[in-house]
Amino acid sequence: MEITDQLLNAYIDGELNSETRLSIELELKSNKELQIKLNNLKKVNKLLALAFPISENIPEKLINNLNNVQEKSADIININRTKQSKTNKTFSNWYPTAIAASIMLVLGILIGSNLNFLTPDSKNSAMLAMTIQPNNALYSVLETTPSSSIIELSNPDNDKVFVKPILSFKSNTGHFCREFDINSEAKNMTGVACRQSDLSWNLEVLLENSRHSTDENSFELASDRVEEVINSVIDELMLDNPISAENEKFLINNNWKRFD
Amino acid sequence: MNDELTVIHREIIDLLPRLRRFAYSLTGNQDDADDLCQATTEKVLKNADKWNDNKQFDHWVFRIAKNLWIDQFRAKKVRGHNIDIDSITENLNELSHNEPETNLLLRQVLSKMEDLTEDQRLLIGLIAIEGYSYKDAADILEIPVGTVMSRLSRARTVLVSAINLKD
């Protein structure tokens, strides 16, 4: 068998079947010229690996740019989604259920789900737990994280928990509100909270998306139903349109003091 | 609720170290590599709705990087393929103390990289540096596996000529 350069390359790249590989290895035992060729190819591979090592240190500007682009893309999608939901008429039917679901869900959290970061004190009543105070991990996300950025909450006892603000808007009572997602291995939730004059965030609604086996302490809804309810709540609360990424940035930098 | 965008955002973050290395192997210097990475990730996010999740995400991203490199960076002929050999070898010496002979061979190989055609450089980047299989590289570059084999072999012949070892 003639051992071409292509075959020798395929040999060092591990692309050959065992039969061809064995033929090459047999030939290599006695063929000095082939041995030199092979060594040279291996040497080049080693040098390339040396010259281009993988680095886990990603420059901050690349990550920031990624977040900014995602923010802009999300802005467009959010505005489209809100326009769609304006035609939604199910609010009156669903809102009481949504509130009930929120309360049950928060109770579920208090009873010992793995998302207990939502309340600093597990002895709080359900209604108290619906206010997000500054000592709550979720509070700083709502205060400081731009929409579409994902923040991992420190939750050392349990699995990873990610929070992502979705959009910000001004309510018809003059409060700033934010829709957000909470994702973990066990639960996916979507909620809306509005910032109060005492600086706390009031949880208007928090629903869990049904995904897998249900937990008897939680109240789950199919994800399209969750979206429908959340859209209804936002439609009811929102004054006009979602706040743009630029204005949201201004608000975050100015502790949610009005920009107009 | 932008689930696609969230998934893609996470996937890109995970892929960034490899994407940067691939970009580095194409552009030959870190600044251009980061510009290429930035352009690639922007395009990926803006086209998030076009990603078909039956396809491998990394293949899609590397293909976008490849097309951008060919379209934008190759067009800047004045830049050429300047490989910043000094900075590559300096970085290496910070990480480990190479033998002077290794440094010399490295400089020779990197300098030969400049003689490679775009197609050859892409295959060295994908297979020799990123460790993709011939099939995966063929998928990313949208060429037949046979073409991968012949181009890669020619590319390695050029690089081997730089070290010309005699045992």
DSSP B32-78: HHHHHHHHHHHHHHHTGGG--TTS-HHHHHHHHHHHHIIIIITT-GG
B50 Cβ neighbours under 8 A, 6+ residues apart: none
What does the pLDDT look like over A88-112, one tens digit per residue? 333 334 444 545 555 445 444 433 3
Q: What is the Cβ-side half-sphere exposure of residue B89, based on CA atoms within 13 angstroms?
A: 18
Q: Are residues B165 and B122 in the same domain?
A: yes
B5, B52, B92, B139 from B55: Cα distances, Å: 16, 6, 36, 10
Helix axis angle, A18-30 relative to A32-51, nearest 10°? 110
- Between strands A131-132 and A151-153, the pairing is unpaired
**Closest residue on chain B to A6 (Cα):** B153
- pLDDT of amino acid A125: 33
As to burial, measured by CB atoms within 10 angstroms (0-12 exposed, 13-18 middle, 19+ buried), residue A46 is middle
Q: Are residues B68 and B10 in the same domain?
A: yes
- pLDDT of amino acid A96: 46
Q: Which of A246-250, A251-255, B85-89 has the lowest mean pLDDT?
A: B85-89
Contact B129 A6 (CB under 8 A): no
Instruction: Choose the closest CB to B21 out of A45, A52, A70.
Output: A52
Q: Are residues B137 and B89 in the same domain?
A: no
Contact A65 B167 (CB under 8 A): no
Query: Alpha-carbon distance A134 to A22, whole Å?
Result: 68
Q: Are residues B68 and B91 in the same domain?
A: no
Percent residues over pLDDT 90 in chain A: 23
Asked if residue B37 belongs to a domain, the reply is yes
Q: Are residues B8 and B68 in the same domain?
A: yes
User: Which CATH number does the domain housing residue B137 bear?
Assistant: 1.10.10.10
Asked if residue B35 belongs to a domain, the reply is yes
Q: Are residues B90 and B35 in the same domain?
A: no
A247 Cβ neighbours under 8 A, 6+ residues apart: A259
CA distance B14 to chain A (A): 10
Q: Are residues B56 and B11 in the same domain?
A: yes
Contact A40 B163 (CB under 8 A): yes
- pLDDT of amino acid A177: 93
Instruction: Choose the closest CB to B21 out of A41, A54, A77.
Output: A54
Q: Which residue has the higher pLDDT, B114 or A16?
A: A16
DSSP 8-state class, residue A186: S
Q: Are residues B15 and B62 in the same domain?
A: yes
In three state form, how does the secondary structure of A69-130 look?
HHHHHHHHHHHHHHHHHCCCCCHHHHHHHHHHHHHHHHHHHHHHCCCHHHCCCCCCCHHHHC
Contacts of A50 in chain B (CB under 8 A): 92, 98, 102, 106
Q: Are residues B35 and B53 in the same domain?
A: yes
What does the pLDDT look like over A197-242, one tens digit per residue? 888 888 888 777 655 434 434 444 556 667 777 888 888 888 888 8
- pLDDT of amino acid A222: 58
Q: Are residues B15 and B65 in the same domain?
A: yes
Asked if residue B78 belongs to a domain, the reply is no
Work out how many domains chain B is built from and give that number: 3
Domain boundary among B47, B73, B99: B73
User: Which CATH number does the domain housing residue B50 bear?
Assistant: 1.10.1740.10
Contact A44 B38 (CB under 8 A): no
- With a cut of 0.90, is the ipTM above it? no
CB pairs under 8 A between A and B: 131
Contact B45 A62 (CB under 8 A): no
- pLDDT of amino acid A66: 83
Q: Are residues B66 and B51 in the same domain?
A: yes
Q: Which residue has the higher pLDDT, A191 or B120?
A: B120
CA distance A225 to chain B (A): 13
The parent domain of residue B32 ranges over 3-73
Confidence of residue A61 (pLDDT cuts 50, 70, 90): confident
Query: Alpha-carbon distance B133 to A97, whole Å?
Result: 54
Contact B124 A48 (CB under 8 A): yes
Decide: B157 and A5 in contact? Cβ < 8 Å: yes
Beta bridge partners, A163, equal A151, A182
Contact B21 A53 (CB under 8 A): yes
What is the residue-averaged pLDDT of chain A? 73
What does the pLDDT look like over A127-174, one tens digit per residue? 334 778 787 778 889 999 998 888 887 665 556 778 889 999 988 888
B52 Cβ neighbours under 8 A, 6+ residues apart: none
Asked if residue B158 belongs to a domain, the reply is yes
Confidence check: pLDDT of A123 > 50: no
Query: Alpha-carbon distance A119 to A102, whole Å?
Result: 14
- pLDDT of amino acid A90: 37
- pLDDT of amino acid A111: 36
- pLDDT of amino acid B98: 65
- pLDDT of amino acid B96: 61
Tokens 């709550």: give the residue: A136
Q: Are residues B12 and B51 in the same domain?
A: yes
Confidence of residue A245 (pLDDT cuts 50, 70, 90): confident
Asked if residue B34 belongs to a domain, the reply is yes
- pLDDT of amino acid A215: 41
Going residue by residue through chain B, which has 167 residues, state the pLDDT in tens, using 9 for 90 and above: 356 667 788 889 889 999 999 999 998 888 889 999 999 999 998 888 777 766 789 999 999 999 998 886 556 544 445 677 777 777 666 656 567 778 888 888 888 888 888 899 999 999 999 999 999 999 999 999 999 999 999 999 999 998 865 44
